[in-house]
Structure 1
Amino acid sequence: MAKALPAAADNSRMGCIAAPNTTGAQTPARGADGMVLVKVEEVAQGMVLSEDVRDINARLLLAKGQTIEGRHLRMLKMWGVFEVAVAGSDPDPETRGDAPDDALADRASQAIDRSFAALDRDHPAIREVMRLALRHRPRHFDDKHAPEEEDGAEPAEAPDSDGLLTRMARIDVQLPEVPSLVYELNDIIADPLSSSGEIARVVNKSPSLAALLLKIVNSAFYGFRSKIDSISRAVTLIGSKEVSHLALGITIMEAFKSIPRRVIDVPAVLEHNLACGIVARIIAAHGKIAAHTEQIFVSGMLHDIGRLVLCKYFPRHAMATMAHARRLQQPLLKSEQALLGTTHARLGKMLLQKWKLPYALENNVACHHNPAAAINPEMAAALQMADIVVHALGVGNSGEEILPAFDAGAWDKVRMPAGAFGAVIQQAGRQLETFREVLQQG
């Protein structure tokens, strides 16, 4: 997973391919309240939908509570839906023979306890995420990206924070390939009269970007029945904003794949960021803020971009903060502030300002640990919660071992019930597997 990770599509209401269990067989995925996610080809007449079914543009196709008829099956296939939520239950994982061993379960429990040490565990959302993580993490994640102990001693003196900020402002960090690519895309998308041909012309300036975008669009994630062989056709089918945000996420993450592993495990960070983007989009859909799903995915992909900037250009500072946080058993964000006089969130904001990317992205990245300060607190809160969920599940590793904060007031604005987290986690797992498959093909 060393290559850049793309943005995900908003299929939080449509579902994705079922992830295989440890025995190699595919089973329905059980969500909250007895919900089961079933592939469309396995849906039978008489089943009852436990969630609304929507198309790629979030238009309602079938409502929750609808009893499936033959005509509904034809409609689902026509619109490219390949998994739906139905009422029912599947056998408990413990009875399928894929229960984790005690040692793995103990490690998962300890990791979750450590991550949540600074959070309010009595809050309904936090309590539910912990409960689900304790059930899912040992079966689906093996902590392969768990932080390793430092070989060397922590620097005796803290790095010069004033020098860091001054040098950061002077660094000429360039986007890979053609820096103007993202600027051109933003200009075209801002123009309501722009055409799919104009967007395709800009994307096609980078053959590698165009090829990866087409691979993603033709993946099981979107579920289109016929092959899409041009960027202009992709724009027509999934929209100019979707294509532009895919391009943006891919291009920016390419800039940081050369950081040495001794500083930070970049593939693990990319996996963490991809998962945060996926979870944030699903939370946005469940929390009734689906109008901003393209933006929130890219915000998830970029939320820790400041830490990658720190690791790439100031590796000594980065390693000092991680050693300091580990030694004191405190959030890395707190060590960044103590040693550097700034944080990865602020560095991320500075970088996005320098690249003149949309202010909404900049603001979400800057406030993902302090949603109340954001222009749209519910957006930043969804991003913060996605970060919490992904850490709890042990997907990738951002360098953070102890979660720094949870803004309950901002989270309330998202209006997502705690009972929805089961479905969020199930959907996110399958979407992440889909993108892993796409990336491994190339």
Structure 2
Amino acid sequence: MNKLLDKIENFDDFPTLPTIYYKLVDALSNTSTTIKDLSNLVSTDIALSFKLLKIVNSSIYGLSTKVNSIDKAIFHLGFRELKNIILSTKIIEVFSDINSNSKFDLVEFWKHSIAVGTISRIIAQELGQKNLDEYLLSGITHDIGKLVLIKILGSEYNVVFILMEKENISLLEAEQKILGITHQEIGLKLAESWNLDKNILNVIRYHNDGLIGSNYDQLVGVVHISNILAKLLNLGHSGCDRISQPNQLLWRRLDITRFDKNIIYDRIETDYEQAKEILIIN
């Protein structure tokens, strides 16, 4: 058996999300939960409270008045958005112990993922979507399988990058050749263990294709396009220099070229810089 695959398949120490996230999920499942209840819960985590206030006061939300309390932040965000933002921040924290090396830089990885999330959110807003933070979360989590593989294999994962460069093949092809499993598959396994929403699972599994089989899914499609745009704009580094062509069916369906390019790029630059500053752990 492939020794690296054996190592992956025998790994049973998947990262777990912090207790506060599951307490939040439990609270949100209770129809009698109030903003004050959630505020009291969030306030037990000082660092999270600080980040939440910075996020809600950033250009990403564009509020006309400054928000100074967790209660008001939750009021402006809504319960679902609160959950997605907290999940985004905690996922980044969970993987903070991964060491960078000559082939992989953790900070650059998160810069790329945050860029994908930011661009996805902006495109979703232009498309008239309401659940914008689901797009942000999807972008941030789309490549978490890479982090799982690096957590398991450490620098041994570098052979995947080396083969990808040597044979000029995709990362997925290199992973399949060397490991017998891809970061999409292992990322899906982790996300399932965290009981993430099905929409997020679909993004992790299908973002490279842009479609679910032959079926259109707007969230998957937007993350697919945003991943390519983030690479073209050189925002962070996912560990892979290869830039794929967008799925043409998807490109025509979303018709992103109808948006004002200058406005979109200005928003990407502003929102990305703020999100990066707030979310990344240095």
Alignment partner of 1:287 is 2:127 = yes
How far is 1:339 from its partner? 1.1
> In terms of mean alpha carbon deviation, does 315-324 or 246-255 score higher?
315-324
Q: CA separation in 2, counterparts of 1:325 and 1:184?
A: 42
Report what 1:276 is aligned to: 116
Inter-CA distance 356–372: structure 2 relative to 1 (3 Å threshold): same
Inter-CA distance 360–342: structure 2 relative to 1 (3 Å threshold): same
How far is 1:367 from its partner? 1.1
- Within 5 A, what are the aligned runs for 1:14-413? 160=3, 162-168=5-11, 170-175=12-17, 179-262=18-101, 264-288=104-128, 290-373=129-212, 377-404=217-244, 406-413=246-253
Q: Secondary structure at the match of 1:314?
A: helix
Amino acid at match of 2:9: T
**Structure with the largest fraction of helix:** 2
Q: CA separation in 1, counterparts of 2:277 and 2:179?
A: 39
Inter-CA distance 253–243: structure 2 relative to 1 (3 Å threshold): same
How far is 1:401 from its partner? 1.2
Query: Quick check: 1:272–1:397 contact (8 Å CA) kept in 2?
Result: yes
Inter-CA distance 408–439: structure 2 relative to 1 (3 Å threshold): closer
Q: Deviations over 1:20-60 (max 9, x none)?
A: xxxxxxxxxxxxxxxxxxxxxxxxxxxxxxxxxxxxxxxxx
Alignment partner of 1:435 is 2:275 = yes
Inter-CA distance 437–264: structure 2 relative to 1 (3 Å threshold): closer
Alignment partner of 1:423 is 2:266 = no
Amino acid at match of 1:345: Q
Larger radius of gyration: 1
Amino acid at match of 1:431: D
Q: CA separation in 2, counterparts of 1:293 and 1:315?
A: 34
Query: Quick check: 1:367–1:380 contact (8 Å CA) kept in 2?
Result: yes
How far is 1:277 from its partner? 0.2
Query: Quick check: 1:181–1:202 contact (8 Å CA) kept in 2?
Result: yes
How far is 1:165 from its partner? 4.2
How far is 1:376 from its partner? 5.9
How far is 1:372 from its partner? 2.0
Point out where structure 2 has 5 or more consecutive residues left out of the alignment: none
How far is 1:278 from its partner? 0.5
How far is 1:422 from its partner? 4.2
Q: Secondary structure at the match of 1:291?
A: coil
Query: Quick check: 1:245–1:295 contact (8 Å CA) kept in 2?
Result: yes
Q: Secondary structure at the match of 1:372?
A: coil
Q: Deviations over 1:65-115 (max 9, x none)?
A: xxxxxxxxxxxxxxxxxxxxxxxxxxxxxxxxxxxxxxxxxxxxxxxxxxx
Q: CA separation in 1, counterparts of 2:29 and 2:254?
A: 27
Q: CA separation in 2, counterparts of 1:247 and 1:304?
A: 18
Q: CA separation in 1, counterparts of 2:244 and 2:41?
A: 40
Query: Quick check: 1:275–1:390 contact (8 Å CA) kept in 2?
Result: yes
Q: CA separation in 2, counterparts of 1:423 and 1:216?
A: 21
Query: Quick check: 1:279–1:428 contact (8 Å CA) kept in 2?
Result: yes
Report what 1:97 is aligned to: none
How far is 1:159 from its partner? 5.1
Amino acid at match of 2:266: Q
Inter-CA distance 298–235: structure 2 relative to 1 (3 Å threshold): same
Amino acid at match of 1:172: F
Identity %: 24
Taking only aligned residues, the RMSD between alpha carbons, in angstroms, comes to 2.5
> Given the two structures, how large is their TM-score scaled by the length of structure 1?
0.58
Inter-CA distance 435–403: structure 2 relative to 1 (3 Å threshold): same
Inter-CA distance 402–305: structure 2 relative to 1 (3 Å threshold): same
How far is 1:189 from its partner? 3.2
Q: CA separation in 2, counterparts of 1:264 and 1:392?
A: 19
Q: Secondary structure at the match of 1:294?
A: helix
Q: CA separation in 2, counterparts of 1:420 and 1:159?
A: 50
Point out where structure 1 has 5 or more consecutive residues left out of the alignment: 1-157
